[in-house]
Structure 1
Amino acid sequence: MSSKQSFNTFLIISCYLINIINTQLLINVKNQGGDVVQENIAANVTDSTVILEFQRSDGTLVTQLIDFASDVQILKALVLGEEERGQSQYQVMCFVCHFQKNEFISADAMSKLRQKNPGTVRMPEEDRGRDNYTMDYFVDISRSGVISRHIATLCAEAANATYIRRQDLLLWASQPGASESQLMSAVRAFPGGSMVPSCKDTTSIKLPCQCHIEMCIGWYPCALKYCKGKEEIMNASMSYRCGIKTCKKCFLFSYFVHQKQVCLWDE
């Protein structure tokens, strides 16, 4: 990366990290390639949310937001442009998915975590593999509040590149008080349908295609640990919280793009 690109990267990333000054944890994590990245994890008990953010070694800024109140997970990628290939600016994509509450410790539990050795390089206890997501629709940011009120804020720069799956919409629609028609009003179909070739099989950079991007969360608190002890007065067995379990998880997203030009890494 040139000095100019490095400076531009610094400016872009700095602007995004301004919003996480009150981070609860700064975790040093060794990724699959052996590089150490620093994850910023913040919990908001009032909003019942957790935000995890880090910059990959290739410069991509990844943000994961868990909205426990709505059972929604948002994964955002800010990808820097390749100037030598005609991409002078960065691009932002958001992927909105259904979330099971037991996949991440609660915002309240997250807010109570403390670090004893902040400089330690962490490794996850469990690798939960990779989930594949084929996205079916664009999300209409202006109507996205029926899914999660956090989408419009987090994905403001991805107004035309925020994606969702039909099967996740149906899961939210099955919840008490939810409306499938209301949820469907917040999405729009891909132009010409989704049956387009993979970007790696598309020769022209101006043709629409199916892009792929992988995002891996190298370390996150996926569950609480409980230990058994005895109540001194009653001499009875009891369980108490004694730590956290940590996991790694990857996500592979397949999604529609208007031109291969915005998916040059998928070759």
Structure 2
Amino acid sequence: MRSQQLSVLTAWIVLQFFCGICSTVLLINVRNQGGEIIQENLTSNTTDDVITLEFQRSDGTLVTQVVDFKNEVLIIKALVLGEMEQGQNQYQTLCFVTHFYDKDFISSDAMAKLRQKNPSTVRVAEINRNYANYSMNLFLDVFQSNVISKHINDFCFEAAGSTFTRHEDVKKWAQRPDSSKTALLAAVHNFTIITSSQTTSNKTKSQSLSKCADTSTYTAPCTCSLELCISWYPCGLKFCKNKEEKDKPGLSYRCGIKTCKKCYIFSYYSKMKENCLWDE
């Protein structure tokens, strides 16, 4: 019995050791665009080749950014609190899934090696990548999303009816060597609205929607816009050169990281204006 307990204990210690290698967590104090200090939680998982960044905005919105290097997938999830002044006491979860290029972030392995000499220091990004507009013109079926990335279901299961992507992203993922176009097409859906004249025949018709800000009826569908800013994240490596010696060129070595700020404006379908009151 004792030998079994020792075996279990040994296995647990080994597991904890290897988990410590594959996953690294950093807590970073960051000054956001409004001058407020927020704390970002950065996790690097080298086994899955994923970086996760999470923080809470001053308005209570919880933002999670997931970078899946294996599948070239960027997930940004927002848990948005209800507008208490408008009588909303619940929250809604939104997920935006896009393609990205490796050059936009440092690798999960490089991220795992980062350490802070002064954890209390307030960080400010060196490079401002300004605003990027994303027109999220497709629904993404979370339960069929493994064809794109297994992490979508993990992070976006609460947003099963409000997870979005774009035609151009699907085209990029379709170019992956192991991609199944049939499975990809089955995982995404266009926005359609049933009109009163079509209800009896059960047909749908795609329609262009007004912006929620221009819509007066709170129960009407509209196009909502949500701005999400990542105020600080490692976006590249810095390289320095050793001093050149006679007849020998200086060798380059890694001497730090580049840090960036990027703001996203996501435009997406909202079932009703009431779910987009911040966009007034």
Fold match by TM threshold 0.5: yes
Which residue pairs with 2:121 in the alignment? 120
- Tell me the secondary structure at the aligned position of residue 38 of structure 1: strand
Distance 1:250 1:194, change over 3 A: farther
Matching of residues 130-209 of structure 1 within 5 Å:
130-192=131-193, 193=206, 195-209=208-222
1:223 aligns with 2:236: yes
1:244 aligns with 2:257: yes
With structure 2 as the length reference, what TM-score do the two structures score? 0.84
Q: Is the 8 A contact 2:227 2:263 kept in 1?
A: yes
Which residue pairs with 2:267 in the alignment? 254
Cα drift, residue 83 of structure 1: 2.5
Q: Is the 8 A contact 1:94 1:155 kept in 2?
A: yes
Q: Which amino acid aligns with 1:92?
A: T
Cα drift, residue 103 of structure 1: 0.4
Which residue pairs with 2:200 in the alignment? none
Q: CA offsets, 1:20-40, max 9 Å, x none?
A: xx7621111111111111111
Would you say how many aligned residue pairs link Structure 1 and Structure 2? 246
With structure 1 as the length reference, what TM-score do the two structures score? 0.88
Which residue pairs with 2:45 in the alignment? 44
Q: CA offsets, 1:80-130, max 9 Å, x none?
A: 112231311111000000011110100000000000011111111110011
Cα drift, residue 174 of structure 1: 1.7
- Tell me the secondary structure at the aligned position of residue 28 of structure 1: strand
Taking the aligned partners of 2:268 and 2:119, their CA distance within structure 1 comes to: 37
- Tell me the secondary structure at the aligned position of residue 150 of structure 2: coil
Query: Larger radius of gyration, structure 1 or 2?
Result: 2
Distance 1:75 1:139, change over 3 A: same
Q: Which amino acid aligns with 2:259?
A: T
Q: Is the 8 A contact 1:136 1:194 kept in 2?
A: no
Taking the aligned partners of 2:225 and 2:45, their CA distance within structure 1 comes to: 31
- Tell me the secondary structure at the aligned position of residue 264 of structure 1: helix
Taking the aligned partners of 1:215 and 1:185, their CA distance within structure 2 comes to: 29
Cα drift, residue 194 of structure 1: 5.2
Taking the aligned partners of 1:83 and 1:72, their CA distance within structure 2 comes to: 34
Taking the aligned partners of 1:238 and 1:176, their CA distance within structure 2 comes to: 36
Q: Which amino acid aligns with 1:86?
A: G
Q: Is the 8 A contact 1:77 1:94 kept in 2?
A: yes
Unmatched 5+ stretches in structure 1:
1-21
Q: Is the 8 A contact 1:23 1:40 kept in 2?
A: no
Q: CA offsets, 1:194-234, max 9 Å, x none?
A: 511000011011000000001100000000011111598x9
Q: CA offsets, 1:34-77, max 9 Å, x none?
A: 11111110000000000000001111010000000000000000
Taking the aligned partners of 1:194 and 1:154, their CA distance within structure 2 comes to: 30
- Tell me the secondary structure at the aligned position of residue 239 of structure 2: strand
1:35 aligns with 2:36: yes
Taking the aligned partners of 2:217 and 2:258, their CA distance within structure 1 comes to: 46
Q: Which amino acid aligns with 2:189?
A: R
Taking the aligned partners of 2:184 and 2:90, their CA distance within structure 1 comes to: 32
Taking the aligned partners of 2:260 and 2:237, their CA distance within structure 1 comes to: 11
Cα drift, residue 182 of structure 1: 2.0
CA RMSD of aligned residues (A): 1.6
Q: Is the 8 A contact 2:235 2:258 kept in 1?
A: yes
Taking the aligned partners of 1:83 and 1:118, their CA distance within structure 2 comes to: 35
Taking the aligned partners of 1:23 and 1:31, their CA distance within structure 2 comes to: 23
Unmatched 5+ stretches in structure 2:
1-22, 194-205
Displaced runs of 4 or more, over 3 A:
none
Taking the aligned partners of 1:161 and 1:138, their CA distance within structure 2 comes to: 7
